[in-house]
Structure 1
């Protein structure tokens, strides 16, 4: 069933210069935010302690701050709402060095006169473990990008591979800029979302590149821009359906999934929009900038077919005993 049917070819490459300017502005703005404000690392990467507390009524945050002041463990602790007025999170940048101390019990004792509540979660990550997680997270992103570069280079050619990597760096950079802009904590959930964005964006880009390659092989049209416009138009229905359905699911998670996956869902929302955009207006125009020549590609394919035919002829002669 085809929900979206396009009867004409859209002039995507005619808007590519404007789109590239927009992309450059967004990427540079993201870099500026990363350089000035920096990433707000969560407990997973920076180390520290998180205690999640839920009250039966609105949490008395001011009263909680007063009660916690008397305990050195909660020195410099921050208390913020977590999804609702009844639920709060106590964040500390340090961890207690005494393994016999249960921070949950200490919290209950310190807040016992503030109302009826329960301690729902206690997360403790040492600074060394947090540093190791951060290093491994960065390494996983780098290895993913390198693996994608190798895969696309073998499947297509180097221009397609470089265009894909530039689009992926574009997507991740803007997603990180959006995270810094709204002040979200960067934790393992956000890292998982960034890796998901890499896969989603690459999948979208590969589908467009596959159609471009098929069109280049089948047509004798020498204008690459026209081939790209036709290829993107033919994949637009699939792209629209995939992006809309995925966006609907992630938006539902963002709205109703709760504070615990808020950062994950937000990162995916930005990534889906930017990933779909980059497949059309970033990855494809880069092929034009790199000077991909359709005629030379046809000559290259013809020479490859000639070599394959010669190998097959020699194989047949060898099998028949005629050399």
Structure 2
């Protein structure tokens, strides 16, 4: 019996979230198999085989699997479920789209946003915006799990030599079709995988100020840009920059929060960052309770001064 990780990939390379999920799968105590379902995805399968800790790569190749449509991918996973005690997905938009379908088809409960594996059947997951941790035990024969990737270190992308086994692709469900994809292009690191993030809040006052104040700092640090929900709702930053319970969950090496008060919903998305720096003129701002370094100052003066000092 083994654990099956559903790889996220672009048919050429494996996405970083899969590496964290493989670490979680290894903690379940079973050999780790990785499913690469796509089209002309031999390069992605070969990359998965190189990941340390992977025992076998299952490669399903078909045109209708190329874009990760949830109905087709879920059917593919279910077809391979026999012999696996755990089926793990990264808790990304894609993983959250497919995992519930797999759990429903297998008639088991889903374990969502797992942050720690205590044993093969017992896990921890955050509840109440991360203010409490629930310990959950599952008696299901197959455990369908989404993994909060910030809770686990990434498995080394090299050092493994797993065999790649071709498996039969399921038929196209015909329930959905891929129409198109609009991808935001940026020279900056992707928010969820960035090692440094500079994030701004409503205190910046406008999108122009957001750009003028934070962009130079992000450029100096080679950082990704993030934003609080309040800043996004006010139109200061695009939706895909939102960090928090209803945005993206991040855990960079360095998180710089500028003009962010630190509402519970925002803290839920970034409090696992290794080092948190907060700049806020309100000494009572909740962000200071989680910050490693706090600067009580006007961000419009402090941030440019910081940029000049770097």
Q: Name the TM-score, length of structure 2 as normaliser.
A: 0.28
Of structures 1 and 2, the one with the larger relative CO (CA 8 A, separation 6+) is 1
TM-score (normalised: structure 1): 0.27
Query: Greater CA radius of gyration, 1 or 2?
Result: 1
More strand per residue: 2
